[in-house]
Structure 1
Amino acid sequence: METITSRDMRVLDINCEFFGLSRLQLMENAGKAVADEIRKRFKSCKVAIFAGTGNNGGDGFVCARHLNDFEVEVYVVSKDVKSRIAKKNLEILEKAGYKIEFGVKETDADVLVDALLGIGLKGKPRDEYAKAIEIANAMDAFKVAVDVPSGLDSDTGNYEIAVRCDLTVTFHKMKPGILKAREICGEVVVKDIGIPKEFERLCGIGDVVETYKRFSDAHKGMHGRVAVIGGGDFTGAVALASLACYHAGADIVLTVVPESIKNVVASFSPNLIVRSLKGERIGLANLKEAEEIVKKCDVVVMGMGVGNNPEFKEFVEELLKGCRKAVLDAEGITENVPESVEAILTPHKGELKKHLRA
C-alpha cells in the first residue's frame, strides 16, 4: 500500500495552497470525510468532538457541522486556537449556536471524534493533551480518529500514550505509523480529499519552506555562498540568475563573468558582486582563477548566457572536480559529473537533446 510521510504531507499541503487548492478547502473535505464515515455506521446519536488547537482540530469542527442531524458537543482543549483556518471553522460553529466548551471532560456520547493531534506530533503529548487522551480512553464511546489516533507518531508508529480508536479515517494516503500500530487504530479507511496526483510531482513553496532554514543568530555567509559563472555572448541571464540566488535566500552571491562584460553585468543591480575572469570568453585558461572563487562557496551555478563557446564544457568538467554542489544550465550541462558532486541539471528540451542526447 502506498504511504506518505508527515514531512511529505506537510509539503504537499502547503503546495496545494500555492497551486490554488486552499487548505481551507482541504479541511472542509477532510472533516466531511470523517462525518460521512460516521453516518455510514450510525443513525442520529450523540457525538462528542475532542478538538485540539491546530488543523486536526479544524477537521473536527468541520465534521461537527456535517453531522447536523446528530446531537453534537464540541470540546476544545484551549481557547488559544493557533490555526487560522481552524479558528475560522470554530467561529462558524459559534455563530451557528453549537454547544462548545473549552476544556475536555468525560461525556456520555455514543461516538467520540478524536481531533486532538494530527500527523505533526513528535514525542509524548503534554499537559492538557495527555489529560484529554486519558479521558477519551476512559469513555465507553465508539472512537473515531481524524487522520491518526492522537499520540501516535504517524511516521514511526511509536506512542507512549494514545487514543485507542475503533475507526481511523486517514486522508489522501496511508500513513506509515498506522501500519505499524494497528492495535490502536481499529478499522482504517483512507479517504480522498481532492488532492490531484500531479501535485505530488510538482515542486512548490512547500519544498522551500521545509528544506530552507535560517538561523536567528546568523552572520553574513551562514545562509549560503553561491558562485554564478556564465556570460559571454549574453549578459542578462547570468545577472538574473545571480539575483534569483539572493531572492532564494543566499547571503553572498559572486557573479563570475568574462572581463569584457563585467561592467554591463554589474549595471543590472547594485546588489551584484561581480568578479571578472580574463578574456572575452571563459575557458580553461581561467580555471585556476575560478577554482579560487568556487572553493569559498557552498554551490556553483554555471552555464547561463555563455553562448557559442566550445571550450566551456571542458572548463565545467574540470571545475566540477573541486565542487560539492552544482546547478548546471545551458552550456554548463554535461553528462560527466563526478559522483562526489550533488548536481541539478536544468535543460530545456533542446538542451536535453544537444548535451545529453536524450
Structure 2
Amino acid sequence: MSLNPSEDLLHTVDSVKRIEQRAMQQMGLTSCDFMRQAASAILTELLDEFGRPEGLTIFCGSGSNAGDGYMLAEFAANDAIPVQVFELGAVDTLSPSVAQARLAALKSPAQLSVYSQSMQISAGIVIDALIGTGLRGSLKEWYRQAIRQINDCDFPVVAIDVPSGLDGDTGNVPDDAVIADLTITFIAPKQGLFTGRGPVCCGVVVWHSLNVPPEAYGAQPPSVYRMKLPALLEQLPLRPRDAHKAQFGHVMVIGGDIGFGGAAIMAAQASVRTGAGLVSMATRPEHVPPMLARQPEVMAVGVVSGQELQPLLKRSNVLVIGPGLGQSAWSEQLLQKAFDTRLPMVVDADALNILASGRVVSDPTKAQWIMTPHPGEAARLLDISVREVEANRFAAVRKLHEKYSAVVVLKGVGSLVTCDTLGGVSVCPYGNPGMASGGMGDILSGVIGALLAQGLTLHGAAELGCCLHSYAADMASQQYGEHGLAATDLLTFIRGQLNNRDFLDELDE
C-alpha cells in the first residue's frame, strides 16, 4: 500500500531520511542527484517569489544542507547571478557528496570564503544552508554568530529544508535559530515546522517532493497531519427545513466563580453562536443578570453548591466546565458533580487545574472528555515544567491523551489535537498573534461544546472547533488588525463560517 505525498501529511526527520533512501534505491539516484534537484527547485522558487536577485549570500555548514547550498551557488552563478558563499564547516570533514557539490561551486563564478563575523551581507537574498535537519545539541559559537548576523540583516532570508537552529521534529529552538521569510522543504514537510517556534522561524513554507514516487512513502506513514477547515466542515451537515432545537443539543456551561463571571458568559455566547439548540449556564447567582443582559437566549441559573447543580445537569447532553470556575470549595463541588454524570464534556481552565491538583476524583477511562489546556495547564497536568511541554509539544499532547484517556487540544501556535489515526496528532494551520488576549480559550471551549451537542464525535468536535476558532481570528484580524483583537470579536466570524461556506474554495486553493 502506498500513501500519496501531500503538503498536509507531516513526517519526522528520520522518516523523511528513510523515504529518501528508499527513493534513491527505487530511482537509481545518488545524494548528489537529490542535491541538484533541490538546488534547481530552490532557484526556481527564488525567481518566482522575488524576481531576479541582485545577488545571493549563501551560508554553508558541513552537512547535506550545505550540499544543497553549494549546488545552488553553482546553478545561480552559472546563471550570471552574483553569489558569495560563507563557509562555516571544516572542508576536510565533508561527506563525498557534499565535497562534490562544493567542488562544483568552486568551478563556477561563485565566490567562496571562510566565514568570519566581519564579513558583510551586501545585497540580494540570504540563503540559510547551515544546519537544516542536522541540529544536534547546542550550537557552535561561530554558527550562533552567523545565525544572529542573518537575523540582523535587512534582506529576505530563505531557509533550505529547515531553518537552522529549529528542531524539525518538535518545533523547539534550544539555542538560536534563523528567522526566515521563506522555507523551502523537501521530500515531505517536517512536523516541527508547524507548531511551537516553527511558524515563527519558517515564514512561508513551500514543499517540493523532488519527484519522489508515491511508492517510496508507503513504508513511512506520516506522524502528523495538518487539519483543513473545508474537509472538517463537511462533518456538520446543513440543517433540514423541518429542523427543531432539540436536534442540536443542549450545552450547559459551568463556571464563573466570584470575579470570573465573564469567562463563563463568553463560553455560553460561543455555544449559542456555534449553533447549539439550547444553552444553559450554571454560575454564581450574581453573574446571572449580566448573562441575561448579554445573551438572553442563555438559560442562566445561580447555584451556591454542588447539591444545587445536580438536578440541573439532567437537562443537558453536553457540559462545558472550567471557564472562570476558580479553585474554591464551590468550584470543586461543581466539578465533582459534573464528572459524576459521565456526560460528554469539554474540560478547560480551572477545571484542569483542580484535576491536576488531585482535589477532585474521576476515572478518566470511563469519561468522554475533550481537554483544552494551554502549555501552563498541560505542565501542571503532567507534573513537568512549561519549558518541557514546549520543548516537545507532540510528546506532551500524546502523554496527556494516554494519562487521561481524553481527546486533547494543546493550545498555542500550531495547536495540536490528539486522534486515533496518522500517528495520533493533527495540527491546526490557522491563527495569529492577535489571539494572545484573555477569553480566547473560553470562546474555544464554548465552540467545541456546541459542536459536540450537534452530534460530532469528540475528535471531530475538537478538530473542527479548533479550526473554526483560529480561522475566525484570522478573518477578524484581516478586517480589523491584530492589535486589540478581543475574544468576542470572533463570534460573528464563527457564525459566518458556518452559514456562508463560499470561502472554503479559497482555503482549498
TM-score band, normalised by shorter chain: 0.5 to 0.7
- Which residue is equivalent to 1:31? 39
1:18 is matched with 25
Cα distance in 2 for residues equivalent to 1:73 and 1:24: 21
Distance 1:184 1:44 in 2: 22
**Alignment-mate amino acid for residue 34 of structure 2:** L
**More displaced 10-residue stretch of structure 1: 68-77 or 53-62:** 68-77
2:102 counterpart letter in structure 1: L
Q: Is 1:4 equivalent to 2:11 in the alignment?
A: yes
Task: Provide the rounded CA distance (Å) in 1 between the counterparts of 2:161 and 2:129.
Answer: 8
Q: Deviations over 1:297-349 (max 9, x none)?
A: xxxxxxxxxxxxxxxxxxxxxxxxxxxxxxxxxxxxxxxxxxxxxxxxxxxxx
Work out whether 1:91 is the aligned partner of 2:103: yes
The aligned amino acid for 1:75 is F
AA at the equivalent of 1:197: P
Instruction: Tell me, yes or no, if structure 1 residue 193 matches structure 2 residue 193.
Output: no
How far apart, in 1, do the equivalents of 2:142 and 2:51 lie?
Answer: 29
1:154·1:178 contact (CA, 8 Å) conserved in 2?
A: yes
Match in the other structure for 2:199: 182
Map of 1:167 onto structure 2: 182
User: Of 89, 107, 115, which aligns to 1:78?
Assistant: 89
Correspondence 1:100 to 2:112: yes
User: How far is 1:194 from its partner?
Assistant: 1.6
Q: Is the 8 A contact 1:148 1:168 kept in 2?
A: yes
Percent identical: 30
> Higher relative contact order by CA 8 Å / sep ≥ 6: 1 or 2?
2
Q: How does 1:113-262 map to 2 (within 5 A)?
A: 113-159=127-173, 160-180=175-195, 181-201=198-218
| Structure 1 gap ranges (5+) | 204-358
8 Å CA contact 1:172, 1:195 repeated in 2? yes
Distance 1:109 1:83, change over 3 A: farther
Query: Which deviates the most, 19-28 or 194-203?
Result: 194-203
Partner of 1:227: none
Counterpart Cα distance in 2 of 1:83 and 1:135: 27
Letter in 1 for 2:204: E
| Structure 2 letter corresponding to 1:198 | E
CA shift digits 1:45-70 (9 cap, x unpaired): 12100011111001011112222231
TM, length-normalised to structure 2: 0.38
Measure the CA separation in 2 of the matches of 1:11 and 1:140.
37
Shift of 1:114: 0.3
In the alignment, is the contact (CA less than 8 A) between 1:106 and 1:136 conserved in 2?
Answer: no
* Alignment partners' CA distance in 2, 1:153 and 1:58: 19
- Alignment-derived partner of residue 242 in structure 2: none
- What is residue 338 of structure 1 aligned with on the other side? none
- Decide whether the 8 Å contact of 1:44 with 1:69 is kept in 2: no
Q: Which structure dedicates a bigger proportion of its chain to helix?
A: 2
- Greater mean alpha carbon deviation, residues 34-43 or residues 124-133: 124-133
Q: RMSD over aligned Cα, in angstroms? A: 1.7
Distance 2:95 2:146 in 1: 19
Alignment-derived partner of residue 473 in structure 2 = none
The corresponding residue for 1:351 is none
Distance 2:37 2:142 in 1: 28
Q: Is this contact kept in 1: 2:84–2:110, CA < 8 A?
A: yes
Partner Cα distance (1:94, 1:120) in 2 = 24
> What corresponds to 1:282 in structure 2?
none
Asked whether the equivalents of residues 57 and 121 of structure 2 are also in contact (C-alpha less than 8 Å), the reply is yes
Task: Look up the equivalent residue of 1:56 and give its one-letter code.
Answer: N
Q: How does 1:333-352 map to 2 (within 5 A)?
A: none
Find the residue that maps to 1:165 and give its secondary structure. Answer: coil
Code of the residue aligned with 2:156 in structure 1: it is: F
State the TM-score, normalized to the length of structure 1. Answer: 0.54
Q: Distance in 2 between matches of 1:22 and 1:5?
A: 22
Cα distance in 2 for residues equivalent to 1:36 and 1:152: 24
CA contact (8 A) 2:82 2:110 kept: no
Q: How does 1:257-336 map to 2 (within 5 A)?
A: none
Given that 2:74 and 2:108 are in contact with CA atoms closer than 8 Å, whether structure 1 keeps it comes out as: no
How far residue 141 of structure 1 moved from its aligned partner, in angstroms, is 1.3
Q: How does 1:61-76 map to 2 (within 5 A)?
A: 61-67=70-76, 68-76=79-87
Q: Is the 8 A contact 1:170 1:188 kept in 2?
A: yes
Shift of 1:202: 5.0
Per-residue CA distance 1:226-253 (angstroms, 9 max, x = gap):
xxxxxxxxxxxxxxxxxxxxxxxxxxxx
Letter in 1 for 2:210: I
1:117-176 deviation line (CA, Å, top 9, x unaligned): 111313332222112111111211100000010000000000021001000001122111
Runs of 4+ in 1 over 4 A off after TM superposition: none
Unaligned runs of 5+ in 2: 1-7, 221-509
Which letter maps to 2:75?
A: H
Once the two structures are superposed, what CA deviation does each residue of 1:15-73 show, in whole Å capped at 9, x if it has no partner? 33333222211111111111111111222412100011111001011112222231111
Structure 2 letter corresponding to 1:114? D
